[in-house]
Structure 1
């Protein structure tokens, strides 16, 4: 890890500059997100069916997965606070964020090995134990890593450039994992292929970020007591508005994610198209992220994000009209909605970085870790609530994923289409209403940076 240096990297530049770090450092910073993204599908899509195929008890396996999710609700906030308050001696030499990423990488690798390549006789308890350890390592890496990204740039539009690079790398990792898994002769071989790529990529990518990207110095002027810190966050109206919109949009994105396979299999009757359509979706998002980021250089970030959400609504509402065999039309919808997803990934975290500035201007403490921990908890809660309620509603309507589409009731298939496409549109429109008049625009953020960069009295 390279030591921090005042005057080396972002901290030495004026906040008005469009961008202060070059593409090489941006690529180095974004690199760890690719292997982290590779773990997304194995953990949440493939692992449960894999262990069920090994004979694991489904009820116990479900309980283990739920416990791992609940563990996140504890570890995310804890990790945010810990990374904000990294011991001063360690932070003075390496920075507040880098040490956690360095420590977490081997934990992620070892636990992923135990989870994805289990020993003979492994069952639900083995899966639950190593999934929990993996989640701890993931949180210990990701929360400080996101906070570091918020601190790399101080310019209004430049922050969207950082997040666009990072999230595009994550999407490439997800798509790569899907391709690698598909190359395996069976589930075990597919997961082994994903782990082999992870074992090669994570150490190299982590080292590149730690060595090549300087971490800006902590410019906090005070340390808030816990209760005062909570009260300050509660008074931050911009944060409340953004986090509510983030929850609504996260739920809107979680619904089609949870129901995608059902829609492709039961509504379109094309189960073999699911893999290629997913890859198309992610690749479209990779293309979209830099476009939306560039638009935020000319227009307010919150307005660009709002337009992207409306774009997704305009595209997705046509999905309920599709039926068996309409794969080509659905591919167009998938590509256009994936393009809009690029904005969901690139812009909200950049807006959140501006919210952290507002908090720091009021409190004197830079708490990006705590704010991005709340960000992560909100995203996970949105995913869990939306997916859970959708599955419950489908079950109540008599939908049965184990039977052919012809055996489903018309009402169940109509509800599937409505939950897949119409409900997300309603949620996204509500999110647009919250962010359209967001109080921190380019001028407001510049004023915040001027306050933060002013010499202490």
Structure 2
């Protein structure tokens, strides 16, 4: 059977069926995010019995491991050549590794300690990189159109949010609102991922076409580094992306602790998470529509402004304010769609700058740097949050004084608002809009035509 075609450089649209098939691997990717950043730290500190500072340090080391693996996987996938494409083989190879790692870290043996958490975390993050990074690069290569890239990124990130939503709602689905131990949720998610991982990755690989050959003539490292440093939109975007990622990572890491110790409503943790991510899905179509009028970077900034303005009141909340916090979760959840979808679409545009300057189609390498920024931000969030809470004398398993609770509230909401303001300042005058991206694509097509003419033996001058 003939392999399905994907949009060409002319900017064709993926059919809805192909779009959904491409986005499906986002389900397990998103489902992994909640346990790794919300349930796992609390589980290993409260139920396994490791100190908060130890858990934070281990997860920080595991995320920094991506500093090594991300660029390696990105560069290798860029240079891969096979009849199955550049990106799909990496994703398929990652499935068994990720399944084994998830099982060992989500359902640890009784004698599990710090070394168990560290070793299996390193393998889990490697497998996650081998799926997430090629998946993002694959989507960026499916179309050259400015707005179609938003649609493709929207499909992928919507699946990520749906996966996150399902994972966040696990305590509700299990009927354990009165017994919210993270270990119960982790055990159920491990079982679900054993089915969802191979099913979704296999469906995407079967239904959506991938480039079969690598870009020709890989650049030497010195020239490659020079082009990276000359790509000013890339440098600005990745800095804003890192800062905004840290702003998002702090509340993600501290959510369970904030609801339990500040709001004193541990029985509502599952509901609050579920509502937040549900609103994130509902907000995606709205932000994609706004982006067609305002452009991607201005729309992203608008969402961050609204998010920061709403979140600024969170440090004022206390015991008994769970209903107010539910309204905040709805409002900030609606902003989530823009925060997840639009930066990913802008990433694809920034690669065009590198391609136009002669870097070749190094989508995997660029997505590796963005993956590193994302993971580093979340790793810093865990390290900073747990480290400072430990200094403030916060006890995750006991009672806390006003000073420790204030530290938790400020780390959860106060610091993220300040970080969002910095990211907004970086992106408000971002130079790569729809018109600029159109000029880049025209330049790339012109250079590709010249290369093809030089290498085509039938293109010799007829005037002889």
* 99, 112, 133: which one aligns with 1:109: 99
Per-residue CA deviation, residues 221-256 of structure 1 (Å, 9 max, x unaligned), is: 532111211111011000011011111111111222
* Residue 119 of structure 2: aligned partner: 129
Give the superposition deviation at 1:257.
1.8
The answer to whether 1:28 aligns with 2:21 is: yes
In structure 1, list runs of 5 or more residues that go unmatched: none
Counterparts in 2 of 1:428 and 1:137: CA distance versus 1, 3 Å: same
Say if 1:299 and 1:193 are closer, same or farther in 2 by CA, change over 3 A.
same
Q: Identify the residue that residue 337 of structure 2 maps to in structure 1.
A: 342
Q: What does residue 354 of structure 2 align with?
A: 359
Match of 2:431 among 432, 439, 445: 439
- Conserved 8 A contact 1:319-1:330: yes
Match of 2:220 in 1: 225
TM-score (normalised: structure 1):
0.89
Residues 9 and 216, structure 1, Cα contact 8 Å, conserved in 2: no
| Partners of 1:51 and 1:124 within 8 A in 2 | no
Equivalent residue pairs, number: 443
Cα distance in 1 between the residues matched to 2:256 and 2:59: 20
Choose 384-393 or 369-378, whichever is displaced more.
Answer: 384-393
Assess, with a 3 A threshold, how the Cα gap between structure 1 residues 251 and 56 changes in structure 2: closer, same or farther.
closer
Pick aligned residue for 1:418 from 385, 410, 416? 410
CA offsets, 1:299-340, max 9 Å, x none? 210000010000101211122232321111111111111111
Is 1:158 aligned to residue 151 of structure 2? Answer: no
- Check the 8 A contact 1:2/1:211 in 2, yes or no: no
Q: In the alignment, what sits opposite 2:79?
A: 85
Q: Are 1:308 and 2:303 counterparts?
A: yes
Residue 260 (structure 2) aligns with: 265
For residues 257-308 of structure 1, what are the alpha-carbon distances to aligned partners after superposition, in whole Å with 9 as ceiling and x for unaligned? 2232333223322122222111111111111122212221222100000100
- In the TM superposition, what is the alpha-carbon distance from 1:47 to its structure 2 partner? 4.0
Equivalent residue for 1:71? 65
Go from structure 1 to structure 2 and tell me whether the alpha carbon gap of 1:216 and 1:450 turns closer, same or farther (over 3 Å shift).
farther
Residue of structure 1 in register with 2:276 after alignment:
281
The verdict on how the C-alpha distance between 1:202 and 1:273 changes in structure 2, with shifts beyond 3 A counting, is same
Q: Which runs of 5+ in 2 are unaligned?
A: 452-464
Give the structure-2-normalised TM-score: 0.88
Task: Find the partner of 1:450 among 432, 442, 445.
Answer: 442
Give the C-alpha shift of residue 64 in structure 1.
4.6
CA contact (8 A) 1:181 1:194 kept: no
Counterpart CA distance in 1 for 2:50 and 2:338 is 40
Give the C-alpha shift of residue 179 in structure 1. Answer: 3.1
